[in-house]
Structure 1
Amino acid sequence: MNTIVIKCGGSILAKLSDEFFTSIKELQQKGFQIVIVHGGGPEIETMLNQLQIKSEFVNGLRRTTAEVLEVVEMVLSGKVNKSLVNNLSKMGINAVGLAGTDVNILSAKAIDYEKLGFVGEVTHVNSNFLEGLLRKNYLPVLSPIGIADDFNKYNINADTAAASVAIALNAKHLLFVTDVSGILKDGEVVPYLNTNEVDELIEDGTIYGGMIPKVKAALQALSTGQLHEITIINGKDSLLALDGSLKGTKIVKELEVV
């Protein structure tokens, strides 16, 4: 099964172009099975502010109380998920919206309950269920809410959730869709990087801010499973170049020759 896992960041969701959705359809026509994992940070922030619920970030992760988790789940599994499904459906794509808690798609445990509350990491992915949907030509759209053995729910970073799904499905590609065209150096997109070069660019400040968790999730995913490359790509345009190849910055394993 040729599977592509696509992670759509919260900052790009409102900016996804018609060309983006058209390219999803084109990838399906090329024989790829696609899973989308999405974030929704800006929408969550807006709703928390409207409800006057305070939240804070600890080491880049939103500390999630039970009250905050209720809002996170409502926004991610409700508004954001269904909006994305609707846009895919308009393209004639058989998209189905799911929460990671459904049929234990994302099993999870707390990272550090004392510091972060209900923020979790993935312990297992129900790949059999996802593969069953893919075989029937459905496109799963997954919100990154996980569930533990004690039925507590956890807010999971969408980058790491997508990486976990890609590893579990032995995906051929993992795409991080953002609002930039890839990793930039001196104003130009870097077409290829190996894992060692990524570390160097983090150290020298070329890769900074919100790009760091994306590339770290990329490195984690490349270290296990069958993934050969991960692409950071812009969702404000088509995912595909004129020759049918994926745009953006491709991160490959250290020993692979590009």
Structure 2
Amino acid sequence: MKKEINLRKYLKSNYPVENYGANRHISIKKFHDLGQGIKLDSNDVVRYVYLNELWHANAWIEGGRIPIGMASSYISDVRDGTFTPDENLIHNSPIALDGPELHGVFKGEIRGLTMLGCTNNGKKILDLHEVDRYVEDGAILSFCKKFDVELGRRFKGKVICLKIKDIRDLFQAIDDQLPVIGRLEDCLYTEDHQRNHFLKSIDDSWQEETRMFWKIAEKVEVELPPGLAEVAGIIN
């Protein structure tokens, strides 16, 4: 008969977490007390995180330090798992500023552009008000709205999924340690050209992503308190 394994005990015994900041108090402030930086599309606060290594789970479950990488680390020439070609892109305009209607007109970054009554090669261009197209980096953590083994395989390289009991508590525990106010939002998906850190291509909609974002210049490490997560399942 196959032996049943207590995964929580297995992780703790085989991948011990170093005692980071044992005397340090981390305050977890509830969203309804703060009301800032959080935008979820429902009252469901449970989210899931898919990890690349079993031992990574220990810090999330028992408490410990985790790295938060930069959004730019997910840029790729093609869509593949969690990698996309338009990560970091901020494109806020009713028409594509790099599209055929304005081909060759703009080079480099565009921020806060207003164009009224303009033409290109004799053709009138749609009036534009405060439009943008530029690249902006920052630190991100990505989560999913559901646990599904097939979904985990599609993310590629993931071996374990954890259930985050209340994504707002996790966000506040991290946000308290960083120098800027972050954002926690469910991602939206579009078929057009517009993009931002929480507005992605419809081709990425299978990810069902909830994202945390902080506008900082380099990756950081933060300390998680215990009890925010538990094992949802193994990806095999």
* TM-score interval, normalised by the smaller of the two chains: under 0.3
Larger strand proportion, structure 1 or 2?
2
Q: Which has the higher contact order (CA 8 A, sep 6+)?
A: 2
TM-score by length of 1: 0.22
CA radius of gyration, larger in:
2
Larger helix proportion, structure 1 or 2?
1
